[in-house]
Amino acid sequence: MGFFNRLFGRKKEEKIEEQKEKLEQELLNEELEQEVLTEEVEKNLQEEQKIEETIEPALEEINEEEIVYADKPKVEKRSFFTSLKEKLFKSREGLFGTLKNIFTGKSIVDGEMYEELEDTLVQSDIGIEMTLKIVKDLKAEVKARGVKNPEEVYPVLKDVLEGYLITENTNLDIQPGRMNVILIVGVNGVGKTTTIGKIASKLVKDGKKVVIGAADTFRAAAVEQLEEWAKRAGADLVKHPDGADPGAVVFDTLKAGEDKNADVVIIDTAGRLHNKNNLMKELEKINNIIKKKLGDQGYESILVLDGTTGQNGLTQARVFNEVTDLTGFIVTKLDGTAKGGILFSISEELKKPIKYIGVGEGIEDLREFNSKEYIQAIFD
């Protein structure tokens, strides 16, 4: 056999082998998906039975008109096989894609390289303060590790950034045998209501009884939107008419949660409150109602931030952290044009964990936050 024949012959065999492997992988994925779906159908049947059993006479005390009962949870095809990397496509292409170029094709680690890094970070949504901190910490780390080759600086930067992310309490604090409360706050349009739908769906699928309170009584269509999400998730909803006192909704939601033996109560709040004073007053009132009900038991108070807003997100985090005792963040819209830098600024400055990230508009598009996985998805 001639050289070319041997070369191309081997390529053909390799190609066939490759296609075979691809087909096998696809079949395996399909089987796995099928298993997941079967499991879900079984879970839903059990859930249906549980819902029937838990509608007890205790409920009668509550004003029935205010409660919207959940439909049976829908079986949705889960996007288990869509990797975080694909979902964060734009974040990877944007800031983090360009960062790598700074370190390639250079022969020495020098001031010019750091300046270029500074410029790139400032132009992104990382902000000046954070940029200076990153570059300072990177320089120190590069020196400590004795790194001389610019290409080796990139992995050091990765470690420095990862170091800012908080790794404790990244999961929601949900304990068995009690009514757990999650208060969701944030300015308008960041994705609070959508995120509540996604969280509720996860919890219901996990076998939890979830009651949602529509305490955003400020915007006309807010309650209907939340009602739709509650239905899709398989959670119950407590609502009052538009313009009602949000405190009263919170009070009734907690009461309904208690009466129905809910595992988790999630409260949606209004984003449009004109000024800090109003926001402070309203959140103070809501927090007092929750504290009165729960006594010493803690609860989650989560700020939702839109990942595409950049530095503005940090300002929001500062303001909300002043008016309410936040336990963590959820950063949404990281599937879009977000550069993903805000996660580092808020973690570093406020020292509170990111609990989830939103990577799409669908009910499944919420990922538990794992700093290692996130870093890997945006850097590699």
Ligand X SMILES: Nc1nc2c(ncn2[C@@H]2O[C@H](COP(=O)(O)OP(=O)(O)OP(=O)(O)O)[C@@H](O)[C@H]2O)c(=O)[nH]1
| Rama region for 186: left / alpha / beta (φ>0; ψ in -120 to 50; rest) | left
Give the binding range for ligand X (CB under 6 A) out of 256-264, 276-284, 339-347, 353-361: 353-361
Give the contacts of 124 (CB within 8 A, at least 6 positions apart): 94, 95, 310, 339, 341
Closer CB to Mg ion, residue 193 or residue 345? 193
Going by C-alpha positions, the residue among 323, 314, 223, 201 that lies closest to residue 269 is 223
Judged by CB, which is closer to Mg ion: 166, or 222? 222
- For residue 328, the surrounding DSSP H or E stretch is strand 328-332
Applying CB under 6 A, which of residues 293, 333, 355, 367 lies at the interface with ligand X? 333
- Applying CB under 6 A, which of residues 361, 368, 372, 380 lies at the interface with ligand X? 361
Token digits of residue 139: 């320089």
Radius of gyration of the chain (CA): 25
Smallest separation (angstroms) from ligand X to the CB of 334? 7
Among 257, 340, 341, 358, binds ligand X (CB under 6 A): 358
Of 165 and 267, nearer to Mg ion (C-beta) is: 267
Q: Measured from the CB atom, is 216 or 263 closer to ligand X?
A: 216
Q: Which is nearer to ligand X, 309 or 345 (CB)?
A: 309
26's tokens? 């696809």
Rounded distance, CA 198 to CA 232, Å? Answer: 9
User: Which of these, 173, 158, 170, 260, lies nearest to 212 by C-alpha position?
Assistant: 260
User: Residue 261 and residue 256: Cα distance in Å, rounded?
Assistant: 8
Residue range at the interface with ligand X (CB under 6 A); choices 92-100, 157-165, 189-197, 342-350: 189-197
In the beta sheet, which residues pair with residue 67? Answer: 238
First-residue to last-residue Cα distance in the chain:
41
222 binding ligand X? (CB under 6 A): yes
The amino acid occupying position 108 is I
CB of 186 to ligand X, least distance (A): 6
Question: Which residue type sits at 66?
Answer: E
190 sits near ligand X (criterion: CB under 6 A): yes
Q: How far is the CB of 312 from ligand X (least distance, A)?
A: 14
Binding mask 184-203 for Mg ion (x = CB under 5 A): --------xx----------
Interaction between residue 332 and Mg ion (CB under 5 A): no
Chosen from Mg ion, ligand X, none, partner binding at 287 (C-beta under 5 to 8 Å by type): none
CB of 210 to Mg ion, least distance (A): 17
The one-character DSSP state at 242 is: T
- Residues of 352-377 as b/e, b for ≥16 C-beta within 10 angstroms? bbbbbbbbbeebbbbbebbbeebbeb
In angstroms, give the least distance from the CB of 308 to ligand X: 9
Q: Which of residues 341-380 bind Mg ion (CB under 5 A)?
A: none
Interface residues with Mg ion (CB under 5 A)?
192-193
Residues that bind ligand X (CB under 6 A): 186, 188-194, 216, 219, 222, 271, 332-333, 335-336, 358-361, 365
